[in-house]
Structure 1
Amino acid sequence: MKRMLMGGFLLIGGILLYVGTAIAAAVYASNMTFWETSDGRFRAALRETGGAWAHGLAIGLAVIGLAILVYESRFFIGIIRRYSDVVKERSAEFDRKYK
């Protein structure tokens, strides 16, 4: 469960960092009149504001968080199946005893 929580926080943190750098670059790009590279206005704005590394970090955090969630969900499904079998057994035992 701790790993699922960590994966969720990494995913949300990556998404928030990505959105933050994208908004900052978009605001800066709207005021740009000239950029030197052929990458485009948005990429140039990311580079000039220093957000290129943060953008890459955000993508990395989101991918790692998603990978952790997917990996841990396989084990979580097994736990759910095991406990659902226990609940079915107890339900059948209750029905036999009280019906």
Structure 2
Amino acid sequence: MTITLISLLRDCDQKMMHPGFPRRIPNAQCPMTEKPTYPNFDNLINQTDTEMQRLGWTKAQGREHLMKYYGVRSRLLLTEDELDNFLLYLQLTDSPAQDQGGF
């Protein structure tokens, strides 16, 4: 049985529940890893970048959301399903309110 860095990271970040999505227990001892190898990774990263920009989120706000709901500081540590769920969350989130001037 071969143990990979990815499997060690996933074991390190045990899953809990997020409202409607998986959640991980934060664990500061988990190391960063290289870019995941699943085929859809680059596409999901590009789409989440676009949605975060649409929402006006900073990288710090993105990290805060990932820590709160997934227990990780980087999208590199999300599974493909978790990254897809994060993208769905961003897509379903309304863009920031525009200044309505005079209201």
Pairwise same-fold verdict (TM > 0.5): no
TM-score of Structure 1 vs Structure 2, range by shorter chain: under 0.3
Larger gyration radius, structure 1 or structure 2: 1
Give the number of the structure whose residues are more often helix, by fraction: 1
Give the number of the structure whose residues are more often strand, by fraction: 2
Which is bigger in relative contact order (C-alpha 8 A, separation at least 6)? 1
